[in-house]
Structure 1
Amino acid sequence: MSARWMLTFTIRCEQLGVVVALFSNTMLFYLLTFKANTSYGAYRRLMFSYTIVELMYSVISVMSGMMAHSTETSFVVFDLYEGYVSRYLAPIFLIDFCAFYFTLILLLVVHFIYRYVVVCDFKKMEYFNGGYLMFWVFGSAACGVSMCILKFFAFPETERRSIELSEEFSLYYNLTMDQVVYNGPNYYICNENDECEMPLKDWTAMMILSNGLIFSIVIMLYCGYRCCVKLNKNDKQTSCRTVDLQKQLMIALIIQSVIPIIFMYIPILLLFITPMFKIGLGPYVNIAMATLSIYPPIDQFAIIYVIKDFRIGVKDFFKCGKKSDNTSSSTIFTTRLSLTKSHLSL
């Protein structure tokens, strides 16, 4: 039963994703530059970093052409092998997407930590100024690269693995294993008597990757919950306009968490976890690859819509520079920053 159409579907989603992401990220970059003034502080710089990484994420997604296959004992991400480099080095160009994936996830977590500090513990804002902010950004990138390196060395191609996968690749994709390069864990190694052993290296590496995703979700939920509780309190010393902007940014971050949970976390966790329970999704796991590629434009359009300054900026842009009468929330944000620290902590 051929499922070659799944590969075509995934590639088309990646191509569409990068085109739309180029537009949405360019638009957001313009808004951050001209509509979000310096009163946005570290949040503006964080968004710049996030936008750049997300744009690179989309480009790498289409360049790597990453596809996936899942069996009852393992999963692999793979691409067609063009022979430009040796088979040993070829997976580097396949799993570099992993580095940007985890960097993007960690930068999103940093956003939530930043909002938590602004709303609930303003005294710690110094940890997002100057060199500290660069530490957060480059620290996220370093963790993303380390995850990529872990996958490269933990899940190399093996002759036995290629033999096990050859029948399914021939059946579903009409491909031989010489035509593809792949990377992925093997949770169970079984013999002809169906007696299986669990490779410690593969399980350890995958537990690190899976727990990293789960832990990041926990941090986002905790910070989001604490911020919502704080913002819903009636603080008489904080202006209504300030609280309004804080709620805008909080809603933006909630959307920034819901969208990746649906399009990034859940699909990847299913890819990671289902073979652990001997559930094979076969070629249909490529739906996860498709959702990963369409995430960036959806995420950025949502942020542009939620934040008032950005929404007004888009309207002004398409009105050829005609200014809107709406009150800019950057003024509100300036009011927020002019408050004393004692006014910001309860």
Structure 2
Amino acid sequence: MLWLQIVQYAGFFFAQITNSVLVYLIITKAGKLFGSYRHVMCVFAMYSLIYSWIEVLTQPVMHIKGQVFIVYMDSPLKPYKWIGMEITYLYCGSFALVISLLAAQFFYRYVAICRPDTLSKLSGFKLGLIFVPCVICFFLWYEFVFYGMANTVEKQEFMKEELRTVYNEDSETVPFIAPMYWSTNQNGIRKWKILDCLSAVGCVGIISVCFSTILYCAFNIYWTMKESQDHMSARTLELNHQLFVTLTFQTVLPFCMMYSPVGLLMTFPLFEVYVGRIANYVGASLAVYPALEPLIAMFCIKDFRKAVLCRSDRKKSKISSSSQSKHSAIN
């Protein structure tokens, strides 16, 4: 699994760079232009930094066998099982924060464009209220994993030979979480594990609610912007369009790199699709995501793009050089 560790460390390294640059751009370039929305953007960028730390501390390895989808810790902390279990739970809970923070951004843009009269309710310290549902989603997901995907003796025995053969790991000592949808008795009769199934349904439900919120807000933002083209200044219209495109791509990226692949991995065990270690391509995708996400804002928002590419400085240098040449010609 050396290649997976290389991807995970590389993703962590570049995520620190790209997210730090984005935070710097938000602080120095956003200013009054974005209003309070710059704080929402900054929170999302700061969380991406935290997410990359959680990911590299976990270094998750994923595997599917029969009716079990397992995620175990492969970081240097795995010998300390009690710490490893808490970090693994935290890693799983962080999934909910990514999608819920994106939903919070869309909600703020919805209020700013479609309900500007109520925007004052999100000013100052009241802006923190927009993150309350995000925290609730995080704790719900954490609890679903903690209780419904717990590390049990039955799951350890079921995955013991598989983990030892494929990864040379001991299922009894390595920290892991795993939904096990059913067990089979001596007569070959399936006994469904209701708690594991409900936890998986709960996680999918959180994703569905957040994506539904995003779609509702995005649809209304799009039509409001389209109907208000004649009433907005060119500068305001352009800025709103840039932010809308940025949020759209920031939602499509985790949908393709995080939630769709993870959703498939949670679904395959229901049909006993043997994926094996191929599931770790999803783990690699999850490690790379936080490094790529800030690039969307950097290149979709004009002022950020100019700062990154140093276009303003080049233009100023060209203007100054041309003025100097004209001055010398006149003299």
Calculate the TM-score normalised by the size of structure 1.
0.85
294, 305, 330: which one aligns with 1:300: 294
Which residue is 1:109 aligned to?
A: 103
Larger radius of gyration: 2
Which residue matches 2:92?
98
Tell me, yes or no, if structure 1 residue 149 matches structure 2 residue 149: no
1:343 matched to which residue of 2?
A: none
Structure 1 residue 82: Cα displacement = 5.4
- The aligned counterpart of 1:134 is 128
1:262 pairs with one of 232, 236, 256: 256
Q: How does 1:174-213 map to 2 (within 5 A)?
A: 174-213=168-207
Shift in alpha-carbon separation, 1:136–1:280, aligned structure 2, 3 A: farther
Which is further off, 123-132 or 164-173? 123-132
**Against the structure 1 CA distance between its residues 60 and 321, is the aligned structure 2 distance closer, same or farther, given a 3 Å change threshold?**
farther
Among 1, 23, 28, the alignment partner of 2:22 is 28
- Find the aligned partners of 2:98 and 2:77 in 1 and give their Cα distance: 28
Report the counterpart of residue 71 of structure 1 in structure 2: 65
Alignment partner, residue 46 of structure 2: 52
Amino acid across the alignment from 1:72: G
- The residue that corresponds to 2:268 in the other structure is 274
Name the amino acid aligned to 1:96: L
Deviations for 1:293-317, whole angstroms, at most 9, x for unmatched residues? Answer: 1111211111100001101111239
Which structure's residues are more often helix, by fraction?
2
Kept after mapping to 1: 8 A contact 2:78/2:175: no
Q: Is the contact between residue 73 and residue 280 of structure 1 (CA under 8 Å) also seen in structure 2?
A: no
Residue aligning to 1:4? none
Cα deviation, residue 263, structure 1: 0.8
Distance in 2 separating the partners of 1:188 and 1:56: 35
CA contact (8 A) 1:56 1:100 kept: no
Q: Distance in 2 between matches of 1:137 and 1:289?
A: 27
Q: d(CA) in 1 for partners of 2:6 and 2:313?
A: 33
CA distances 1:257-309 after superposition (whole Å, capped 9, x unpaired): 11111111111111222212332322111111111111112111111000011
Give yes or no for contact 2:22–2:45 (8 Å, CA) kept in 1: yes
Instruction: Note if 1:61 corresponds to 2:55.
Output: yes
- The equivalent position to 1:246 in structure 2, one of 225, 229, 240, is 240
Q: Which amino acid aligns with 1:166?
A: K
Distance 1:287 1:49 in 2: 28
Q: Do the aligned residues in 2 keep the contact of 1:112 with 1:253 (CA within 8 Å)?
A: yes
| C-alpha distance in structure 2 between counterparts of 1:185 and 1:318, whole Å | 53
Distance 2:250 2:184 in 1: 42
Distance 1:117 1:102, change over 3 A: same
What is aligned with 1:168? 162
- Which whole-Å CA distance do the structure 2 matches of 1:324 and 1:301 have between them? 27
Q: Identity over the aligned pairs, expressed in percent? A: 25
Report the Cα distance in structure 1 between the residues aligned to 2:318 and 2:150, rounded to whole angstroms: 57
Moved more, 43-52 or 68-77: 68-77
TM-score of the aligned structures, taking structure 2 as reference length: 0.88
Q: Distance in 2 between matches of 1:125 and 1:92?
A: 38
1:42 aligns with 2:36: yes
Question: Aligned equivalents of 1:170 and 1:139: distance in 2?
Answer: 41
**Relative to 1, partners in 2 of residues 1:36 and 1:101: Cα closer, same or farther, differing over 3 Å?**
same
Q: What CA deviation, in whole Å up to 9, does each residue of 1:35-59 have, x standing for no partner? A: 1112311210001100111100001
Contact 1:99-1:141 at 8 Å conserved across structures: no
Where in structure 2 are the equivalents of 1:303-342 lying within 5 Å? 303-316=297-310
Distance 1:161 1:264 in 2: 25
Alignment check: 8 A CA contact 2:148 2:198 kept: no
Q: Helix, strand or coil: the match of 1:215?
A: helix
Determine the C-alpha separation between the residues in 2 that align with 1:56 and 1:68: 21
- Distance in 1, matches of 2:263 and 2:34, equals 34
Q: Which amino acid aligns with 1:159?
A: V
Q: Which residue identity does 1:246 align to in structure 2?
A: N
Specify the SS of the correspondent of 2:62: strand
On the 8 A contact 2:73/2:175 being kept in 1, the answer is yes
* Contact 1:98/1:144, CA 8 A, preserved across alignment: no
Q: CA deviation at 1:187?
A: 0.4
Conservation of the 8 A alpha-carbon contact between 1:316 and 1:323: no
Count of aligned pairs between the two proteins: 318
Q: CA deviation at 1:135?
A: 2.0
Q: Quick one: structure 1 residues 84 and 161, their matched pair in 2 at CA, closer, same or farther if it must change by over 3 Å?
A: closer
Contact 1:70 1:76 in 2 (8 A): yes
Cα 1:73/1:309, change in 2 over 3 Å: same
**1:233 counterpart residue number:** 227
| Cα drift, residue 91 of structure 1 | 1.0
1:293 alignment partner AA:
A
5+ residue gaps, structure 2: 320-331
